[in-house]
């Protein structure tokens, strides 16, 4: 039967890493579109613990970012959230996460690491690029304000895809909250309410 076939097929799992400070509709549309384009069974959102590229003092507590990610993804049965990075000690490196997920799921799973154009551009500067590409297929999504070119990226290891373009960033959402401007419709309703309830970003720089 086709149900049986589906059960025996290797599972295809998307990994959406991010600081999610806060999670917004740009993240959610990218994950949803890549899930559709690559026939993914599920997408796991992985909030970063201590993003090594970002100034720690300016990043919201991992617990708030984790909870917002859970709130934003709760209604979608294909989406889940992992604590793998926020529970790990020390700075966050994507390669540790991919190794751990690969150990967790076993060799028969196919991993798809989903990034926006800006983040994909930074991949080339990461350590162990060859091992990264062995662990997962990389999917780069267009993002307004960032150009994606395929120069220098290994053949067959990276796909560049078009997702509906949403010019939304977490930085801009934080800035809008600080200035008293609305973030309705840039982030899910539950995220607006969580930010209001907790007073997040009111005095953030």
Q: Which positions touch ligand ATP (CB under 6 A)?
A: 18-21, 26-27, 30, 115-116, 118-119, 141, 143, 166, 168-171
Task: Identify whether the C-beta of residue 111 lies closer than 8 Å to the C-beta of residue 101.
Answer: yes
Residue 101 or 168: the one with the smaller Cβ distance to ligand ATP is 168
Shortest distance, position 100 Cβ to ligand ATP, whole Å: 19
User: Least distance from C-beta 74 to ligand ATP, angstroms?
Assistant: 18
- For ligand ATP, which is the closer residue by CB, 18 or 188? 18
Shortest separation between residue 125's beta carbon and ligand ATP, angstroms:
14
Closest Cα partner for 129 from 148, 154, 104, 151?
154
CA distances from 10 to 24, 133, 147 (A): 30, 18, 33
The DSSP code sequence of 89-140 is: SSSB-HHHHHHHHHHHH-TT-EEEEEEEHHHHHHHTTSS-HHHHHHH-EEEE
Residue closer to ligand ATP (CB basis): 10 or 33: 33
Nearer residue to ligand ATP within complex by CB, 73 or 115 = 115
- Minimum distance from CB of 166 to ligand ATP (Å)? 5
Residue 141 phi, psi dihedral angles, 5° rounding: -100, 145
Residue nearest to ligand ATP (CB): 116
């Amino acid at each position: 039967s086709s149900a049986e076939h589906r059960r025996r097929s290797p599972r295809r799992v998307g990994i959406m890493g991010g600081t999610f400070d806060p999670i917004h509709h740009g993240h959610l549309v990218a994950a949803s579109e890549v899930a559709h384009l690559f026939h993914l069974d599920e997408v796991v959102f992985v909030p970063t613990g201590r993003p090594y590229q970002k100034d720690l003092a300016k990043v919201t507590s991992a617990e708030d970012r984790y909870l917002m990610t859970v709130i934003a993804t709760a209604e979608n049965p294909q989406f889940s959230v992992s604590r793998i990075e926020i529970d790990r000690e020390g700075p966050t490196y994507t390669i540790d996460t991919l190794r751990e997920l690969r150990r967790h799921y076993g060799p028969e799973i196919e991993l798809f690491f989903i990034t926006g154009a800006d983040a994909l551009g930074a991949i080339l500067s990461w350590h162990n690029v060859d091992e990264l590409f062995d662990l997962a297929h990389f999917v780069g999504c267009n993002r307004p304000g960032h150009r994606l070119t395929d120069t220098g990226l290994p053949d067959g290891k990276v796909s560049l895809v078009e997702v509906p373009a949403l010019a939304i960033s977490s930085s801009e959402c934080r800035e809008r909250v600080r200035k008293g401007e609305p973030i309705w419709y840039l982030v899910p309703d539950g995220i607006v309410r969580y930010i209001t309830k907790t007073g997040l970003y009111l005095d953030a720089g």
